Structure 1
Amino acid sequence: MDTAAISKAMQSVAVLTVETEGGQKLQGLAFIALGENRAVTAARLIRNANKVTLRFQDGVEVDALGLVAVDEKRGVALIDIPSSGRGVLNLTQASITPGMVINSGAVKDNTYGFVQLAVAEVHQGASGIERCMLSGEAPSGNSGAPALDSKGNVVGIVIEAQDGRVFVPSAFIAALNASLPTRSWGAQKQTVEATGGVGTVVQTTGSSPMDDIDLMLLSFFTTFYDHYAVYVWIINIIDYYSHFESKEVPQLVYDYQAKLERELKRIAGIRTDDSLRKEILQTALEAGANQFNAVNYLMQAMVIAQQTKAWGAQSDDLRKRAIASFKMAWEVLTPKTSALMQLYKESMIFRKNAPRDLVYMMGLEKRPSVFKIGATTMVTDPFYLLVLNNKSMGEALGLRAGDRIISTAGQKFDKNSSIEDFKVIIQNNLGKTIKVVVQRYGEETTLEMEIPKEIPKEYLYEK
């Protein structure tokens, strides 16, 4: 066990103090993950919260700004906190089996540390491991503690329940949508985050009765377009390797299947009399289900290829089904562009909170650039080139699949930037050589990028 690494990780753990609307005071833990201004904690602690304060090991206190996302089924919540310069804990996935030892964050008498607990029981659901029960001695009042592996990485969260301590694997933390807009404490009832069984009626108390529905739709489309990027990536892997019987289904694919499935369940529970939103909800459900099936077919194809040690007729048939299902998803969605544009114009919530790259991908606003870079990127991670097409503009400029663009011509990109910003800089420097910093194979590399005097016609968008 790397005690130094675990002790360093504890610097990003805070004691969480909650004042509820009813005047109660609750205490637990939270830890920084999914971004420097995001913290993970136990959902029950922040339910009906009026004020939430975090106190770190060095004595610094910050007030949490509000709720970002919550998975009530598994009891995990994501909250918005001011950036404090502390490290963001790394999420990693581990094989959870009875007897596995985890290092649970703990605070007692203002002393920050960790205790070792063991997995006692493993509960499996239809989509894999969901919860585990823990055994071992630990001080109470530490619900929301990170479960750390021997290197200080987060493998899950520890939640105190009536029947003991529950361990929720990190996959369900990763499934929380960190890009959702923040809901201020006490501003409105937090019913919008119900996981959405069929028949759920969305209750709203905000400024508009449609705001909560629009937030759910925004969350769905963000996940849907990221899921689309994963589909393109996995098809690319299959086509590139051809006979790849040793190639496993990447964990990212399982993660985004779980995310899209969750979003589909949530919006399936919405009931509304608004004709526009009803139309878009129906479209989203149909398109989402088809795209989910497409990736599912690809996963089956890869597993069968592994089992049979060859890419045979059955795997090829599943690949063809995946492509057909994917095409159907977009045949459903594309004709509804006008309805989506109407929603974008009407909904201040959608317009204010939609990530820029999502807006461009959905065709809700015109892209500021005039050319295609040939890369597949995610809405939530637009500067990571998940796929880069052969003979594309990006490849011609010296970029490679797997690169993460850090800065271009001295301009550093942040969470509010878009891949369009990078392309506009290229357009503004035609015929010049500029420096582009990328992260490649885990290290920062500076490229001397030679920009052509004009963009080749084959890379321009169609007018």
Structure 2
Amino acid sequence: MTNRRPGPVLFLVLLMSGMVFSQFDPAEAQVDAAALSRAMKSVAVLTAETKDGKESRGLAFLAAGEGRAVTAAHLLKNASRVTLSFQDGVELLSPGIIAVDEKRGLAMIEVPASGREGLTLVQTSISPGTMVHCGAVRDGTYGFVQLSVSEVHQGASGVERYVLTGEAPSGNSGSPALDQKGNVTGMVIETTEGRLLVPSAFIAAIDASSPLKSWGGEVPEMVDAAQADPGPGPMDEIDQAILDFFVILYDHDSVYRWGQETTNGQGFMQGVPEVVYHYQTKLEMAIKKLGGVDTGDPLRKKIIMNLLEVGKNQVVAVNYFTQAVVVGQGAKDWGAQSQDLNKRAKAAINIAGEVLMSELSAIHELYERSTVLSEKMHRDIKYFLGIEKRVAPFAIGAVTTIEKPFRLLVLYSGTFGEALGLKAGDTILSAAGLKFDAEGSMEDFKAVILENLGKTIDVVVERDGKQTTLKMKIPGEIPEKYVLPQTL
């Protein structure tokens, strides 16, 4: 159910052969219905056909002088014929394309002169809550719907675009957004994530003097509206906070497992490793920061709540673990109390994993929607979350961090990595001539192994502060006990 403002009424104004279909609050400033009616005469349904028979449909409007119309660039991808159909039944065939602003998804096309006036472009102050009237055609009825600005996306050159909310029929990408006087404040572009409003300043900046290119010829490559770079906005900042939290969660978990391995046997006598306290503090600060993030987006809110619960369980796990070590160190014995506390630590870390997996589908959905997550998420986190399939279907048996993906923080006993001659604490620098860096993943090293089955390769590692070259003998096939179980 959609929440509505108190007291709205349906506002209908007849327009020639159509109407304005808009949710309108009388408390808002009065709309000049006559101006909207006049503007509608300059709006057309755009139909773009390709050579293979495919068709795209949206809107275009006359602007930037006689014989010029602007529309959404993604509608024109691979177009060989473009037709504009106006409200009065007149159809005009566009001779070709003039210019494209690929970054913002705008395009200018040529249309035959028809005596229609181009709409006036104005630059005005737009902020969250601003209402705009957007051209729309539904079932042959030409009109306008009223939408609200909900977000501002900032780019290097200023505001790049706005996010619009409200109910509107689909299939109207390329429509003009008008103020109450019928002047164009921007263009509406429909994407998979919703409707975006590109300010009129960018429409005015399109070079109308560029040479005409006929349809089917060398038309500039179009970008899909969803691919155009909107610049960072509020949702991008929230997604960055979510991504940063994933990194801290991942590394905190890795350091916890390293601490568990380090304190085995008599290791607890050395006390709690300082790095454990370091990552515990980082996670506690990250929980506080993420907990202060405010978003009205249900999906992001759900994920944030999930991550906070995961983080709190990991903090509890490390608290139990440190207590176990301190008690053992004081008693000089890994006795019943230390063992009980450590069991609680392991239970808490397992619960953290279960909580994270409970919202895995939501995390995958956000990954598909978010430019920040899809472009910046480290591969090891993608593998861990099941967003991407691992390159190699076997395990090395190591624990690493995002910060240092090739440093074997832990290398468990009896693993493939140990059988290959690696040791805990090693940092793998290169294998078979391929160098590794902080942007990579252990999957890259595993891929080298797969490519060199049955061979001996040079593997350079940093061990105890020195570079060492290992003559690593790779078996002809991966032993079955190291092969990961297949998942659907």
2:430 to 407, 432, 435: 407
> Do the aligned partners of 1:227 and 1:257 also contact (CA within 8 Å) in 2?
yes
Pair 1:305-2:328 in alignment: yes
Structure 1 partner of 2:162: none
Structure 2 partner of 1:296: 319
Structure 1 partner of 2:41: none
Pair 1:228-2:253 in alignment: yes
1:425 to 428, 448, 452: 448
> Do the aligned partners of 2:383 and 2:390 also contact (CA within 8 Å) in 1?
yes
Pair 1:213-2:238 in alignment: yes
Pair 1:347-2:360 in alignment: no
Pair 1:270-2:303 in alignment: no
Structure 2 partner of 1:337: 360
Specify whether residues 249 and 185 from structure 1 end up closer, same or farther in structure 2 by C-alpha distance, changes over 3 A only.
Answer: farther
Specify whether residues 406 and 184 from structure 1 end up closer, same or farther in structure 2 by C-alpha distance, changes over 3 A only.
Answer: farther
Structure 2 partner of 1:319: 342
Specify whether residues 187 and 230 from structure 1 end up closer, same or farther in structure 2 by C-alpha distance, changes over 3 A only.
Answer: farther
Pair 1:372-2:372 in alignment: no
Structure 2 partner of 1:237: 262
Alignment of 1:350-365 (within 5 A): 350-365=373-388
SS in 1 for 2:270: coil
> Do the aligned partners of 1:214 and 1:347 also contact (CA within 8 Å) in 2?
yes
Specify whether residues 435 and 217 from structure 1 end up closer, same or farther in structure 2 by C-alpha distance, changes over 3 A only.
Answer: same
> Do the aligned partners of 2:408 and 2:427 also contact (CA within 8 Å) in 1?
yes
Shift of 1:460: 1.3
Write the deviation string for residues 414-459 of structure 1: whole angstroms up to 9, x where unpaired.
Answer: 2222111110000000000000000111111100000000011111
Shift of 1:270: 1.2
Amino acid at match of 1:376: V
Write the deviation string for residues 341-390 of structure 1: whole angstroms up to 9, x where unpaired.
Answer: 11111101111111122211221111111211110111121100011111
Structure 2 partner of 1:146: none
> Do the aligned partners of 2:155 and 2:232 also contact (CA within 8 Å) in 1?
no
Specify whether residues 363 and 401 from structure 1 end up closer, same or farther in structure 2 by C-alpha distance, changes over 3 A only.
Answer: same
SS in 1 for 2:461: strand
Structure 2 partner of 1:439: 462
Specify whether residues 187 and 379 from structure 1 end up closer, same or farther in structure 2 by C-alpha distance, changes over 3 A only.
Answer: farther
Amino acid at match of 2:260: I
CA distance in 1, matches of 2:340, 2:156: 51
Alignment of 1:130-169 (within 5 A): none
Amino acid at match of 1:215: Q
Structure 2 partner of 1:167: none
Amino acid at match of 1:281: I
CA distance in 2, matches of 1:292, 1:300: 12
CA distance in 1, matches of 2:285, 2:371: 25
1:393 to 398, 406, 416: 416
Larger Rg over CA atoms:
2
Kindly tell me the number of residue pairs found equivalent between the two proteins.
263
Write the deviation string for residues 77-118 of structure 1: whole angstroms up to 9, x where unpaired.
Answer: xxxxxxxxxxxxxxxxxxxxxxxxxxxxxxxxxxxxxxxxxx
Structure 2 partner of 1:284: 307
Structure 2 runs not aligned, ≥5 long: 1-153, 160-229
Structure 2 partner of 1:46: none
Specify whether residues 375 and 245 from structure 1 end up closer, same or farther in structure 2 by C-alpha distance, changes over 3 A only.
Answer: closer
Amino acid at match of 1:426: I
Shift of 1:283: 0.5
Specify whether residues 443 and 332 from structure 1 end up closer, same or farther in structure 2 by C-alpha distance, changes over 3 A only.
Answer: same
Specify whether residues 245 and 330 from structure 1 end up closer, same or farther in structure 2 by C-alpha distance, changes over 3 A only.
Answer: closer
Shift of 1:403: 0.5
> Do the aligned partners of 2:310 and 2:355 also contact (CA within 8 Å) in 1?
yes
> Do the aligned partners of 2:238 and 2:293 also contact (CA within 8 Å) in 1?
yes
> Do the aligned partners of 1:244 and 1:310 also contact (CA within 8 Å) in 2?
no
Moved more, 412-421 or 225-234: 412-421
SS in 1 for 2:406: coil
TM-score where L is the length of structure 1: 0.55
Amino acid at match of 1:340: I
TM-score where L is the length of structure 2: 0.52
Give the alignment's Cα RMSD to 1 decimal: 1.9
Structure 1 partner of 2:81: none
CA distance in 2, matches of 1:265, 1:215: 15
